[in-house]
Amino acid sequence: MTTGTQQRRKERIDRGIKVRTEGIYALMSWRELAYLILPRFVIIVGLLILPLVIFDMYWQRVISIVCIYALLALSFDFLAHHVGLVSLGGAFFVGVGGYLSAVLNSVFGFPALLSIAGATVIGGIICTLLLLPCLPLRGVYFAIVTLMYPLFMARVIEALDILGGTDGIMGIDSLPSAWMEQYFIIGMLLLFLFGIRRLVNTDLGLVLRAVKDNDQAVRASGMNITTYKAFAVCIASAIGCFAGASLVHIYMWAGISTFALDFSVLPIAATVIGGSGTLVGPVIGCLILVPVSELLRDFGTLRIVFYSLILLAFIVFRSEGLMVYGQRKYHQIERWKKI
């Protein structure tokens, strides 16, 4: 394009950034820094202002539930696409974390926040120890075994009438206030999200991806792949246990329903919608899928049909997920540049 004697051409905004560096952020201007920060800024600010723009108490509670599912989706995406372990045990993590926090709070008298912290750490260790014999398994075999754990735990509690049996554990303390409930869970979601994103970009994350791609090569290098898998499972299960512990303090009750398979299935659906392997994508998927689930609640079991249609549409027309599609389009933005 020519304007008088001045010539210009279109150039992708990210071209100069990618030419100079691909990870150490050697930037030339504030414009390029803003280009990199903008997507992260939108996600952070968007989550933080949600409680301020939604005044209905019911939908404020839905925000917290969205974050619970987002934590489970983040846990699933980390294990499945950065370690190679497809886990259907989200409900197992939620149940263990929920019951642990309920016991710490109602039996031992721990404050709500301390109970959640204890359940997160102890639950992550317990889940890892229980899943340790399954770590040599891969693919559908590992998935099937992890799916059996929540079913097994629910039936044991029901048959032995322990931990409150079918009535569950009641009288659990809530978080100090509704504002603290929302911002505590949102803040922890952002902390886990950017913490995991940082982890997968470190040397340890490189090893975990190598375990996913070729575990025999990692073993031949003298590394114990079981140790790395156990470390990844411990992180993922701790995230899930935190979600379960927070959930029981939101509802002030812990019961067999914390092992419901919805906690295993819905995060996977959110990952499909948001974009697998992106970590942020599953969070976006939950921001779409959970509110839609609430809007369709009046349809009863018929809402499963709408779920199926939504998933079918994404698989057929946007199988890569919203986040991957959005990233590609964002990096294709062009600007006029002087020649």
Predicted TM-score of the model (pTM):
0.89
Domain ranges of the chain: 56-323
pLDDT at 237: 95
> Which of 112, 127, 106 lies closest to 245, judged by CA?
112
The CA distance from 263 to 139, in Å, is 20
Residue pLDDT, tens place only, 144-189? 999 999 999 999 999 888 888 888 898 899 888 888 888 999 999 9
- Give me 211's structure tokens: 């375990």
Task: Assign domain 56-323 one CATH number from 3.40.50, 2.40.50, 3.10.450, 1.10.3470.
Answer: 1.10.3470
The 10 Å Cβ neighbour count of residue 88 is 24
Residue pLDDT, tens place only, 231-260? 999 999 999 999 999 999 999 999 999 998
Enumerate long-range contacts of 165-171, CB under 8 Å, 24 or more apart: 166/255, 166/256, 167/255, 168/253, 168/254, 168/255, 168/256, 168/257, 169/99, 169/102, 169/103, 169/106, 169/248, 169/253, 169/254, 169/255, 170/106, 170/252, 170/253, 171/106, 171/252
